[in-house]
Structure 1
Amino acid sequence: MHIPVHMARFFVGALFIFSGFIKLNDPLGFSYKLQEYFAPEVLNLEFLSPYALLISIGLVISEVLLGIALLIGYRKKLTLWLLLAMIVFFTFLTFYSAYFNKVTDCGCFGDAIPLVPWESFIKDLVLLVCILFLLFFQKHIRPIFKNKIVQNSIIFLSFAACMCFGYYVLMHLPWLDFRAYKEGSNIAKNMEIPEGAPEAIFDYHWKFNVNGKEKIVTTSGGYPQVEGEFIGYETEQVQEGYIPPVHDFTIEKGDENFTTTFLEKENVIVIVAYNIDKTEREGYYNIKKVTEEAIRKGYTVIGLTSSSPSVHEPFVRDYKLPFDFYYTDETTLKTIVRASPGIVSMDKGTILQKLHYNDASDLILNSLPTAKPHLNFNLKFQLDSIAVLDQKYRKLMQVPEGPERKALGESMGLDPAEYSGDIWKRQIALDTSNLRKIESILKNGVYPGKSLVGTPTNTAAWSVIQHSNKIPKYLDLMKKAGKAGELPFRLVAMMEDRYLMNEGKHQIYGTQGMTYNNGTPFIWPIENPEEVNKRREEAGFSSTIESYAKDLFGEDFEYTPITLEEAEIRRLASIKEHE
């Protein structure tokens, strides 16, 4: 029996070491798998979820040590009984997940060798038989090293090596990456389904009542011709179709999908925080530093999280982060990078680097043609905060008080006291405060434009002045910024038109409309209206005056040029009617 025992001994020991090492390479990934087992719909052991990582590390190190102990013949009786206990536990888990179809991948070999539950169960049954065989014939197991000190030293050194390796991958990233998001992979290509790939096949079981008896007819999809009363049908998947390596990756914000936008974009840095409430907050000192550097060097920086805007927007403000978060599924984010926050460098969807927040300084950043070396992030943060307050109640003011305003207010994360009552008075108070801050920023005669605060922050000062009575004071500064490319010139055009309208003069670009006392709306008189569309195009507007007028006043509105005299007649008529 020596040869069969040695073969079984080597097989079990090597498999336990391999399985344990693969999971020790990615203890966070195995802890996520344990959390699936602890879920209410599986084993209902949710109280263990907070300890999943600790359990994960304990199990995988035990796997490796038991495998080594069996190979060197260390305390064979204790080792074999512990191996038996562990394999019985794993066999139960794999049978449970296979029979009840609860966990589709047991995680036995991590992402290196994905196994379906029944494959895992069969593997564990084979190991169970081998361990029972070794228990029965354990007298044939002889230690490789007879010296106890050598045996103890091997086990101790193995334990120390496992602890050091586990600590390293937790403080950095897995040493080996077997996932579809590994460095060098292209996310878009991994989402493609190759031509001729097998499709999923379903059987449809149609139920009929035929002469008082239930009859089931199975087809591949077509409705069967059966004389009887149709009851219902059930579907059964008989063949799984091709599933691409990446099949659940999306980038969303609000109701918009930005997946293609960012997968086609060059030089993108992605900060991954699968759940803001669970992210490691101490990591954001490094994240803030490296993302500011990336933006200065011309990179696009975004965040991905599964948390709602009501959670991640205050978080961004509290930590003064220079980027916004978009929505991506939590499981996908956990798969992309085993760190929260983690850093991913991409170029047209190809992953160039993945880093733990501890290694943020290792991010490779090149100075790009779009670099903005003079960005002032303190000023940017101040202006971003002002921009939020500038728009806080303006959307609500356009919605009548009642259920519609209530729904909008709640979607914006406002309390009932904030979206009801005299919100115009509150917005005026915010505008007054914002104006003081903006005037303090503009007192040096320099507009905080694109090269100083980036986009869209460069529009914040313009917006506050546009909503104030200070347009005459700052219009020349705005024009200078617009001509220098620091501010979109179409915004300067809007401000100039508003100034001219307030002065009772012809506007130039046709951006201002007017309605007197709920009367007939009209576009304020335009200088040389026959050339306005050319001027609009040169200023950066994408629509003609005719289209813009419909956007402003409704599809039924037809733009007709009027004179200043006609505008004054309408004003006087409205006053008379109002009296």
Structure 2
Amino acid sequence: MKYIVHLSRIFTGILFIISGFIKLNDPLGFSYKLEEYFGSDVLNLEFLIPYALGISVIVVVFEVVLGVFLLIGYKPKFTVWSLLLMIVFFTFLTFYSAYFDKVKDCGCFGDALKLTPWESFTKDVVLLVLTLILFFGVKHIKPLFSKLPMTVIALLSFIVSLWFGYHVLMHLPSIDFRAYAIDKNLPEEMAVPEDAQKPILEYTWIFNVNGEEQEFVTNGSYPSVDGEYVGVETKTIDEGYIPAIQDFSIESDDEDLTGYFLEQEKLMMVTMYNVTKGEAEGMAKLKSFTDEAINKGYTVIGLSSSGAADKAQAKAAYNFNFDIYLCDEKVVKTIVRANPGIIILNKGTVVNKAHWNDIEDIEL
């Protein structure tokens, strides 16, 4: 039992630190995932949505700290109880998400590793078993150091985690795992190869045959049935090839301009997922910076999911010298973790990006 507890302790501690650090690298992204869970169509806890970012930071810092506590053997009873409560909650959450097909990606490892809902649930079940081993074998969890070094390490893990979370919120994630990272080519990330695996769908056709409803399953072809058609249900067996970027577009009121802008050599996109929620200090910085970019030959555009009236109002209020085009809110949030943010492309390849706090660091 002693050796099983030690192995469980090492594996669980390391996994919690890795998982927590990846989310701590992008707490804003994890908060967007929490907003999905809090939505009316999932947990129906919409009153928590305004607090999603705060909850995100608390959860991921706690996750990293608990991993450190477990590895060094600091306050083992508190640590194991906390781990057990956390993993029970996450197991419920991932099961609910998987069973009811509510959230496609749990966000357990941020954008670094995408897990399907059932994969996430399986991972949590394994962690739950390991945590139960720790719970019943807590007497075998011994401190690695004396009291003072243990306290110092525990305190440092909390301070460093909190500082790192604050740092990436005020700038950008230190490691960018998304498809819009520097050196990524957006057209390539959006492309679907000719030989890509096609989605596999299952069709369940319902017919009324002699007064009784019967089901006929095909791969898409209309069944030859002597009866009255009632309806059809589709089920995805395999989603096939999914490009890294699926919903990116740049649209005016009249047309889709995505291809046109991705061919530009010096394109600066100002991302504002919602112009009415943009940081006032950041929005004010944009005027002089974008004017300078235009003078140096850049094509400057804005991307936002806001309505035409809000975009016109923001453009007038800050005297922007560029047009703001329509783009899906989730996509804009993914491109740059800031509102507003800057991303610079050369023929579709990302050459630079920045939080509004770091606009001055961009060399035009």
Identify whether the pair has TM-score above 0.5, normalized to the shorter chain. yes
Compute the displacement of 1:148 (Å).
1.4
Structure 2 equivalent of residue 11 of structure 1: 11
Partner of 2:240: 241
Matches within 5 A, 1:535-546: none
Pairing 1:379-458 to 2, within 5 Å after superposition: none
**For the structure 1 residues 284 and 211, does the alpha-carbon distance in structure 2 shift closer, same or farther, using more than 3 Å as the test?**
closer
Q: Which residue of 1 aligns with 2:287?
A: 288
Question: Which residue does the alignment assign to 2:251?
Answer: 252
Letter in 2 for 1:48: L
Alpha-carbon separation, structure 2, partners of 1:353 and 1:282 = 21
Asked if 1 retains the 8 angstrom alpha-carbon contact of 2:2 and 2:137, the reply is no
Distance 1:51 1:240 in 2: 34
Q: Per-residue displacement from partner, 1:366-416 (whole Å, max 9, x unpaired)?
A: xxxxxxxxxxxxxxxxxxxxxxxxxxxxxxxxxxxxxxxxxxxxxxxxxxx
What pairs with 1:3-152 in structure 2 (closer than 5 Å)? Answer: 3-145=3-145, 147-152=146-151
Question: 8 Å contact 2:276–2:314 — kept in the other structure?
Answer: no
Q: Which secondary structure state, in structure 2, belongs to the residue aligned with residue 206 of structure 1? A: strand
Alignment coverage as a number of residue pairs: 364
Query: What residue in structure 2 maps to residue 320 of structure 1?
Result: 319
| CA distance in structure 1 between the partners assigned to 2:221 and 2:93 by the alignment | 39
Q: Which amino acid aligns with 1:265?
A: Q
The answer for the alignment partner of 2:210 in structure 1 is 211
Per chain length, whose mean CA-contact separation is higher, i.e. which structure has more relative contact order (CA < 8 Å, sep 6+)?
A: 2
Percent identical pairs in the alignment equals: 56
CA displacement 1:98-151 (0-9 Å, x = unmatched): 111111100000000111111111111111110111111111111101x21111
What's the CA shift for 1:211? 2.0
Give the Cα–Cα distance (whole angstroms) in 2 for the partners of residues 91 and 312 of structure 1: 42
Question: Cα offset for 1:221?
Answer: 1.7
What is the distance in 2 between the residues matched to 1:127 and 1:4? 14
Give the Cα–Cα distance (whole angstroms) in 2 for the partners of residues 82 and 215 of structure 1.
Answer: 51
SS in 1 for 2:330: helix
In 1: Cα distance, 2:69 partner to 2:245 partner = 39
SS for the counterpart of 1:165 is helix
SS in 1 for 2:97: helix
Structure 2 distance, partners of 1:170, 1:86, is: 24
- Which residue pairs with 1:275 in the alignment? 274
For residues 289-309 of structure 1, give each alpha carbon's deviation from its aligned partner in whole angstroms, at most 9, with x where no partner exists.
211111111111110000011
In the TM superposition, residue 235 of structure 1 has moved relative to its aligned partner by: 1.6
Helix, strand or coil at the partner of 1:252: coil
- What is the CA–CA distance in structure 2 between the aligned matches of 1:303 and 1:214, rounded to whole Å? 54
- Higher mean C-alpha deviation, range 44-53 or range 226-235: 226-235
Which structure has the bigger radius of gyration?
1
| Matched position secondary structure for 1:193 | coil
CA displacement at 1:212 relative to structure 2: 2.2
Aligned counterpart, 1:339: 338
The farther-off stretch of 215-224 and 63-72 is 215-224
Cα pair 2:105 2:117 within 8 Å, conserved: yes
Residue type of the partner of 1:309?
A: A
Q: Which amino acid aligns with 1:94?
A: T
SS in 1 for 2:33: helix
Give the match for residue 176 of structure 1: 175
Where do residues 474-485 of structure 1 align in structure 2 (5 Å cutoff)?
none
Runs of 4+ in structure 1 displaced over 4 angstroms?
A: none
By how many angstroms is 1:285 displaced?
2.8
User: Which position in structure 1 is the counterpart of 2:226?
Assistant: 227
- In 2, the alpha carbon distance for the partners of 1:110 and 1:239 equals 23
Give the Cα separation in 1 of the matches to 2:161 and 2:58: 10
Query: Residue 300 of structure 1 aligns to which amino acid in structure 2?
Result: T
Alignment of 1:190 onto 2:180: no
Give the secondary structure class of the aligned counterpart of 2:156: helix
What displacement does 1:153 show? 0.7
User: What is the CA RMSD across the aligned residues, in angstroms?
Assistant: 1.0
Task: Give, as a single letter, the amino acid of the residue that structure 2 aligns with 1:208.
Answer: F
Contact kept in structure 1, 2:185 and 2:348, CA below 8 Å: yes
Unaligned runs of 5+ in 2: none
Q: Can you list the C-alpha shifts for 1:60-94, whole angstroms capped at 9, x where unaligned? A: 00000000000000010011000001111111111
Write the distance in 1 (CA, Å) between the matches of 2:279 and 2:262: 27
- What per-residue deviation string (whole Å, max 9, x for no partner) do you get for residues 204-255 of structure 1? 2222222222222211222222222222222222221211001101100102
Would you tell me which structure has more strand in proportion to its own residues? 2
Return the alpha-carbon distance in structure 1 between the equivalents of residues 155 and 235 of structure 2. 52
Q: Where in structure 2 are the equivalents of 1:548-563 lying within 5 Å?
A: none
2:207, 2:283 → 1: CA distance? 62
Taking the aligned partners of 1:357 and 1:229, their CA distance within structure 2 comes to 61
TM-score by length of 2: 0.98
Distance 1:229 1:249 in 2: 42
- Give the whole-Å Cα distance in 1 for the aligned partners of 2:63 and 2:206: 50
In 1: Cα distance, 2:303 partner to 2:258 partner: 11
**Displacement of 1:338 after TM fit?**
0.3
Q: Supply the AA of the counterpart residue of 2:132.
A: L
